[in-house]
Amino acid sequence: EPEVTQTPSHQVTQMGQEVILRCVPISNHLYFYWYRQILGQKVEFLVSFYNNEISEKSEIFDDQFSVERPDGSNFTLKIRSTKLEDSAMYFCASSGLAGRNNEQFFGPGTRLTVL
Amino acid sequence: GENVEQHPSTLSVQEGDSAVIKCTYSDSASNYFPWYKQELGKRPQLIIDIRSNVGEKKDQRIAVTLNKTAKHFSLHITETQPEDSAVYFCAASLNTGFQKLVFGTGTRLLVSP
């Protein structure tokens, strides 16, 4: 069964550094998402992406964040200057064609630790 | 915007008992309600979902009910097994569903043998 994949599984960085989290969505999916989960808390929406542009973003997704689909398979989340409070598990998700099942499939996550 | 409340935050049951987790949502426009199971350190995985045109859906030991008037929905697990132990999240989504999921705060279910 196709799965969403993410790399790296764990990223440790210094405060103020830039990080790029990578995702490969399921190949025929058209809608892509980033969520984050601070340890022990609920999953929070960051941004959704469709047709090469952001379709919605949350108040968390400020100017320090950006997303990109640089080629036909990868979907990246960049944090320009990381803060301590950016430490969390970041999940990528994708969903399929219009009119089909709405299910969002989640990747295994990248644990970001900002020191 | 949408707000989803979930309770209880923890639930302990004996193997074979039933477990019920309840969620309420605030936006009457929400029309898609999935439930995700998350084992420790793993990704959330969809276990069942329901749309607003249906009042109940069942899949083996798992069922979900939806009350649109009251804006609440519930997950029911019967004949619980130790492998059901995990954190369960409800979520709600607007319109077509190809939009953000707004998650509840999660329920940690512990099934004791």
Question: What per-residue confidence (pLDDT) applies to B96?
Answer: 61
Contact B62, B75 (CB under 8 A): yes
Phi, psi of A52 (to 5 degrees): 65, 25
Query: pLDDT digit string (tens) for A17-53?
Result: 999 999 999 988 889 999 999 998 899 999 999 989 9
Indicate whether A83 pLDDT > 90.
yes
Beta-strand pair A10-13/A110-114: parallel
Give the Cα separation of B97 and A33 in Å (integer). 13
Interface probe for A, chosen from B39, B95, B100, B103 (most Cβ of A below 10 Å), is B100
Which residues are bridge partners to B12 per DSSP?
B110
**How sure is the predictor about A14, in pLDDT bands with cuts at 50, 70 and 90?**
very high
Listed as ranges, residues in chain B with pLDDT below 50 are none
Query: pLDDT digit string (tens) for A43-58?
Result: 999 999 998 999 999 9
Q: Give the nearest partner residue to B43 out of A31, A56, A106, using CB atoms.
A: A106
Measured between CA atoms, how close is A17 to chain B, in angstroms? 25
Whose CA is closest to B90, among B56, B44, B52? B44
Contact A31 B98 (CB under 8 A): yes
Contact A44 B103 (CB under 8 A): yes
Residues in chain B: 113
Question: What per-residue confidence (pLDDT) applies to B41?
Answer: 86
User: For residue A35, which residues of chain B lie inside 8 Å, CB to CB?
Assistant: 101
